[in-house]
């Protein structure tokens, strides 16, 4: 059974950095998408970044391009989200998710993700 476990997150001042980690346990094939999403109360979950595990192709939403970096360590079975130059509007609950290759939906769309982590809070203060 696949499980995703978060670590990282916390509070930081604007302009600071944080790194989120997502450890994947259980059976994991070589063709998956690992994604990071975020959600604030009253809003839908937003796709932030995703990576195709087969070839490392990455995807970012426009608001984080140049500031966030998604990466993977296949040996450690861990996905990372390095967040730099954080802004107050980055404050949210962040979730990692996994979906299998073959989904008809784009990588930054919540639909199609079959597994989710428990979420970790990121708070950026001014």
Three-state secondary-structure class, residue 96: strand
The region of weakest confidence among 11-15, 17-21, 29-33, 89-93 is 29-33
- 125 pLDDT higher than 90: yes
Count Cβ atoms within 10 A of the Cβ of residue 39 and give its class: 0-12 exposed, 13-18 middle, 19 or more buried.
middle
For residue range 42-51, list pLDDT tens digits in order. Answer: 999 999 999 9
Mean pLDDT of the chain: 93
The proportion of the chain whose per-residue pLDDT surpasses 90, expressed as a percent, equals: 79
């Amino acid at each position: 059974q696949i499980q995703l476990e978060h670590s990282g997150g916390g509070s930081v001042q604007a302009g600071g950095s944080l790194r989120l980690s997502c450890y994947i346990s259980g059976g994991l094939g070589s063709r998956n998408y690992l994604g990071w999403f975020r959600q604030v109360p009253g809003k839908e979950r937003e796709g932030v970044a995703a990576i195709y595990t087969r070839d490392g192709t990455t995807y970012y939403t426009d608001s984080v391009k140049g500031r966030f970096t998604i990466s993977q360590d296949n040996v450690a079975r861990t996905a990372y989200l390095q967040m730099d130059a954080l802004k107050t509007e980055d404050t949210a609950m962040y979730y990692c998710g996994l979906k299998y290759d073959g989904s008809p939906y784009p990588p930054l769309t919540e639909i199609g993700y079959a597994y989710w982590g428990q979420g970790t809070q990121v708070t950026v203060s001014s």
